[in-house]
Amino acid sequence: MKRIAAIQMASSASVGSNLTEAARLISRAVDAGADLVVLPENFAHMGMNEREKLTVAETLGTGQIQNFLATQADKHRVWIVGGAIPLKSASPQHVRAACLLYNDHGKVVARYDKIHMFDVKIHETGEMYSESETVEHGKDVVVVDTPFGRLGLAVCYDIRFPELFRRMVNEKVDIIAVPSAFTATTGKAHWETLVRARAIENLSYVIAAAQGGYHINGRETHGDSMIVDPWGKILDRLPRGSGFVIANIDLEFLRQVRRTFPTLQHRRISCEPCA
């Protein structure tokens, strides 16, 4: 039986410091038996402003952050979902929020570019976010074969769009990784509900790795990283602070749930491709 872990951090604007902390937590998760480790969104950089990500953006295949992820995967012989990192796009004023999957030899085997942009105003706090000003959205749904089952990749705000996950079901997903950086306000209201709903309605494991704490840019993120099984049970969770959650992946249990409660076979409305 395989073990999966989700890392929780409160990242800063210092890439070097964030990578040092990520390395520490990856090592701890591996020592606890993790075969797959999921890092949170923006694990390597939470800048003072949105445009700062343009200064640390890397070209696919090279750069400090990608070298770090490859090295950690190879060193620990562990699969790593590299949260979401800024990769250069065709537009010099934009990046892609890319979620890279590394195998246990440090090779990139999949890339998912965040599809849904967090362009919202939170009335309770006055916070405003306009992610699309600096991030170019992706288009492709990504589900890949791994030793743990069919793994789907999504990032943070994506979790509010169930049609994306239905497309993953069409691709025979078993496990969904959702690196995130939910705000404290929206996380308190919706985070657990959304994570468990995506697990229940798609009869899949969900690994939700979150930013959790206070950041030097004044932002507060919700945390509460968790691993949820296909029946909606929270197997492990970490409300606040740096650390990790870990649980077993039992594909036989997943198949049993799908056999005895075959909601995925009862669908009558098809999910159209994402625009």
The three-state secondary structure class of 126 is coil
Spatial separation of the C-alpha atoms in residues 176 and 195, rounded to whole Å: 10
Q: What is the pLDDT of residue 101?
A: 99
Amino acid at 35: D
Q: What is the pLDDT of residue 123?
A: 81
Spatial separation of the C-alpha atoms in residues 90 and 96, rounded to whole Å: 9
Q: What is the pLDDT of residue 128?
A: 87
Residue 245 β-bridge partners: 6
In contact, 266 and 258? CB cutoff 8 Å: no
Instruction: Name residue, tokens 């198949």.
Output: 255
Write the Ramachandran bin of 232: left for phi over 0, alpha for psi from -120 to 50, otherwise beta.
left
Please give the CATH number for the structural domain made up of 2-261.
3.60.110.10
Closest listed residue to residue 232, CA positions, set 266, 263, 267, 194 = 194
Amino acid at 170: N
Spatial separation of the C-alpha atoms in residues 21 and 59, rounded to whole Å: 23
Strands 79-81 and 36-38: parallel
pLDDT tens for the chain, 275 residues long, are 899 999 999 999 999 999 999 999 999 999 999 999 999 999 999 988 889 999 999 999 999 999 999 999 999 999 999 999 999 999 999 999 999 999 999 999 999 999 999 999 888 887 889 999 999 999 999 999 999 999 999 999 999 999 999 999 999 999 999 999 999 999 999 999 999 999 999 999 999 999 999 998 888 999 999 999 999 999 999 999 999 999 999 999 999 999 999 999 999 997 765 54
Q: What is the pLDDT of residue 272?
A: 66
State phi, psi for 128 to the nearest 5 degrees. Answer: -130, 135
**pLDDT tens-digit map of 191-209:** 999 999 999 999 999 999 9
**pLDDT tens-digit map of 98-157:** 999 999 999 999 999 999 999 998 888 878 899 999 999 999 999 999 999 999 999 999
Spatial separation of the C-alpha atoms in residues 221 and 219, rounded to whole Å: 7
Residue 134 token pair: 């600096």
Q: What is the pLDDT of residue 125?
A: 80
What amino acid positions are annotated as catalytic residues?
A: 41, 114, 156
CA 38, 39, 44: angle at the middle one, nearest 5?
A: 160
Q: What is the pLDDT of residue 270?
A: 79
